[in-house]
Amino acid sequence: MGYRAALDASIYHYWRAKGGTTSLYRYLSEHPQVVPAIKKEIHFWNHHYKRGLDWYLSHFPKLSTDQQLFITGEASPNYFEDVTVAERIYQAFPQMKLILLLRNPVDRAVSQYYHWMRLGTEKNTLEAAIETEMELLGDYPQSTTLNSAYWQLSSKYLWRGIYGVFLKQWLDIFPREQLLILSSEEFYQHPQSILEQVFEFLGLSPYVLPEYHVYNQGFYQPMPEAVRGKLTDYFAPHNQDLAELLGFHLNWS
């Protein structure tokens, strides 16, 4: 077995923007059996695919076959919404393990809004941005096509939170046992308990971190109750679809 074959069984991905991936990446990197990539976000499978697989592999330590106790991985957000990414990963590394952190889509949408505000990309009020997107989304995904006006939106705060649509696409490609799907809220509240699940999923020995610092934490204005209620109602049927797909409800109370 060569370098690529060793990676096939030892590499993992985890992703979801605004869901705690930075903290999970840092925590995992502290495990003695984890040798992280040279950078957390590589964005190979969506933005840099034309650079070729050798370019991607150059970001990882060279794990030989006598280093089977070690694993490596990356955490690029925004892979989740692109089914082409799933197809590309499976073609190259069909045994790859995937970890998905899912945050309450209400909080995720508002967090993304304020992120875009800080970047200067979003000019509308929160209420106006949400209302505009709701109108353009219509009854999606019941109607599977979205008009060109929707795709001109740079934000897509709501669309990114309709998790079940994207997860089904990944599960059509990867076996369910290769995906670990976690609640970001549970991770924030009980990091050691969630890490135990992650370590077991990745085949790592038990390990307790000395502390659990929260990385890349954002601070935002309190969400208006009217906006929270509107978003909660909007996502309710989509969250139910996700629960039926998973076979359990995520802790988004």
**Tell me: the pLDDT tens digits for 192-250?**
999 999 999 999 999 999 888 777 666 667 888 999 999 999 999 999 999 999 999 99
Q: Are 20 and 187 in contact (CB under 8 A)?
A: yes
Residues of the chain with pLDDT > 90, as a percent, come to 54
User: Per CATH, which fold does 3-246 belong to?
Assistant: Rossmann fold (3.40.50)
* Residue 105: half-sphere exposure toward Cβ, Cα within 13 Å: 23
What letters, b where the CB count within 10 A reaches 16 and e where it falls short, cover 209-234? Answer: eeeeeeeeeeeeeebeeebeebbeeb
Work out the number of other CB atoms within 10 angstroms of the CB of residue 82. 14
**pLDDT tens readout for residues 75-127:** 887 889 899 999 999 999 999 999 999 999 999 999 999 989 988 989 999 99
**Nearest-angstrom CA–CA distance, 37 and 26:** 11
Answer for the pair 31, 199: CB distance below 8 angstroms, yes or no.
yes
Domain extent listing, the chain = 3-246
pTM for the predicted model, two decimal places: 0.88
Angle at 11 between CA 204 and CA 96, to 5 degrees: 100
| Phi, psi angles (nearest 5°) of residue 214 | -90, 120
